[in-house]
Amino acid sequence: MPRRVKIVLQATAVLVVALLVALLGWQVFRTDQGRALDSKVKNGQRPAAPTFTLDRLDGKGKVSLASLRGKAVILNFWASWCIPCKEESPRLQAFWEKNRDRGVVVLGIDAQDFDFDARRFVDRYGLSYPMLRDKHGSTLGHYGITGFPETWFVDRSGRLVGKHVAGPVSDAELERYVRLALQS
């Protein structure tokens, strides 16, 4: 085999392997990003909330997290098949109605779900806070979501101040984290 052809083949093989390693690294980085946020917040840091722009569940336009800068945002990840969400969603609705004048926004993010099931859920529980649909579940990895429901709290300058994981969030937790989010 001519020397030049041999070099080209070897270079191609090295390039392909490098590309595969880079892809693997990128995937691992993406997965770890959410977990890293969690530990940063637990250590008292306030990392920037991952940005996103998602379709509204009702199909009427899009909402970006950046557009809510200046408000305390309760990011609630949910799905219609999730049992604790049935208890939690009316609580979030009541909290939003009571606190929206203080600059508090509840943002529901429905993922891993049929959109028609999610809309039925929203109608059934009379939820009027903004609902977004994450069809591909891209925000789940960015926020390190491991199940439903999970809730992140974002301060006025777009930084994460707290996270609730297991089961429905309580009124006391909502009040505590929202106070933190409003302080910034």
Partner 1 sequence: MRRAVVLLALLALAGAGSARASEQHPTLSEVEKEVICPVCHETLDLSTSPIADRMRAFIRGRISAGDTKSQIKAKLVDQFGESVLAAPPKRGFNLLAWLLPLIGIVAGAVALGFLARRWSRERAGPGPLASSANGRAPLDPELERQLDEELARFDA
Give the shortest CB-8-to-partner 1 separation in angstroms.
13
Cα 117 to chain centroid, rounded:
20
Instruction: Locate the DSSP E strands across 27-159.
Output: 53-56, 62-64, 72-78, 104-111, 131-134, 150-154
Q: Which is nearer to partner 1, 81 or 125 (CB)?
A: 81
In the sheet with 160-164, reading across from the earlier edge strand, the strands are 62-64, 53-56, 131-134, 104-111, 72-78, 150-154, 160-164
Task: Measure the CA–CA gap between 24 and 79, rounded to whole angstroms.
Answer: 29
Give the shortest CB-159-to-partner 1 separation in angstroms.
29
Question: What number of chain residues touch partner 1 (CB under 8 A)?
Answer: 12
Q: Which is nearer to partner 1, 29 or 114 (CB)?
A: 114
Contact flag: residue 5 with partner 1 (CB under 8 A):
no
Q: Which is nearer to partner 1, 111 or 161 (CB)?
A: 111
Residue pair 72/181 in contact (Cβ under 8 Å)? The answer is: yes
Give the shortest CB-152-to-partner 1 separation in angstroms.
19
Q: Which of residues 111-150 bind partner 1 (CB under 8 A)?
A: 112-115, 117, 135-137
**Which residues of this protein are in contact with partner 1, per CB under 8 A?**
1, 79, 81-82, 112-115, 117, 135-137
